[in-house]
Amino acid sequence: MIISYQGIESFKISQGDLTLAINPPSKDSKFGTNKSGADITLITTNHPDLNGGDTTSRGDKESFVITGPGEYEVKDVGIKGFLSESNYGDEARYNTIYQISFEGMNLGFLGALSNPALSADALEALEEVDVLFVPIGGEGVLDAAAAYKLAVSLEPSIIIPMHYGKVGDKKSLDVFLKEGGEDKVDAIDKLVLKKKDLEGKEGDIVVLKEE
């Protein structure tokens, strides 16, 4: 599995010929549109910075777009979505938390979450999460301290922070790292991950460079 970061909350996750896109920005976002196509697209929040589901189809290849709660299986990828809250864009919005079963690993994607009090169903689905994507920038999503507290409570092997810098508090990454006892974590271009790589990891923070 290869995970790369495209800014805000936009990620590309690929394995072989299969590609997932999560929260690609739309054509109405001031931060630019999605950079690549995908077989499956997940949208957590109806905001122009996050809802570019119509940008991930390429030619005759139409992306399967999921925009809300439910249980799905697409191309052997299991996906569960759970309703939560967001205030991104200074407005109350619905947000979907996704649990994704892919290549023998469980990914948890919190989206533009603003309220750390998760539903019982969401908590149960995230009980055995391997990789957790968490927003840390404040300004309508979790701030760094609340984000770290929630992240470690879910006991993931790896934590990937998102939604900071251009769209949130620029100092939030430093605060988040300090909450995790780190002065600095060198950003990497992409995360290449196999199930065996998770052994011995407990809440390790991985910072990805924006493509």
Spatial distance between the Cα atoms of 195 and 71, rounded to a whole number of angstroms: 23
Tell me if residue 177 falls in helix, strand or coil.
helix
pLDDT tens digits along 143-196: 999 999 999 999 999 999 999 988 888 899 999 999 999 988 999 999 999 999
- Taking the alpha carbons at both ends of the chain, their separation in whole angstroms is 17
**Average pLDDT for residues 97-118, to the nearest whole number?**
96
Q: Is residue 208 within 8 Å of residue 3, measured between CB atoms?
A: yes
**Domain range for residue 87?**
2-205
Predicted pLDDT of residue 157: 98
**Average pLDDT for residues 104-123, to the nearest whole number?**
97
Q: Which two tokens stand for residue 154?
A: 């879910």
Q: Report yes or no on 160 lying in a domain.
A: yes
Predicted pLDDT of residue 60: 79
Predicted pLDDT of residue 183: 85
Predicted pLDDT of residue 184: 86
Q: Report yes or no on 210 lying in a domain.
A: no
Q: Which two tokens stand for residue 207?
A: 């910072």
pLDDT tens digits along 35-93: 779 999 999 999 999 999 999 998 878 999 999 999 999 999 999 999 999 999 989 99
**In the predicted structure, residue 133 carries a pLDDT above the cut 80:** yes
In the chain, how many domains are there? 1
Residue 168: HSE in the Cβ half-sphere, 13 Å Cα cutoff: 28
Q: Which two tokens stand for residue 137?
A: 């920038």
**Average pLDDT for residues 131-151, to the nearest whole number?**
97
Q: Is residue 51 within 8 Å of residue 8, measured between CB atoms?
A: no
Q: Report yes or no on 104 lying in a domain.
A: yes
Q: Report yes or no on 211 lying in a domain.
A: no
How sure is the predictor about 203, in pLDDT bands with cuts at 50, 70 and 90?
A: very high
Predicted pLDDT of residue 107: 98
How sure is the predictor about 98, in pLDDT bands with cuts at 50, 70 and 90?
A: very high
CATH number reported for the structural domain that contains residue 138 in this entry: 3.60.15.10
pTM: predicted TM-score of the whole model, two decimal places: 0.96
- Residue 4 class from Cβ within 10 Å (0-12 exposed, 13-18 middle, 19+ buried)? buried
List strands edge to edge, sheet with 158-162: 70-74, 77-86, 93-102, 105-109, 131-135, 158-162, 204-205
Q: Report yes or no on 47 lying in a domain.
A: yes
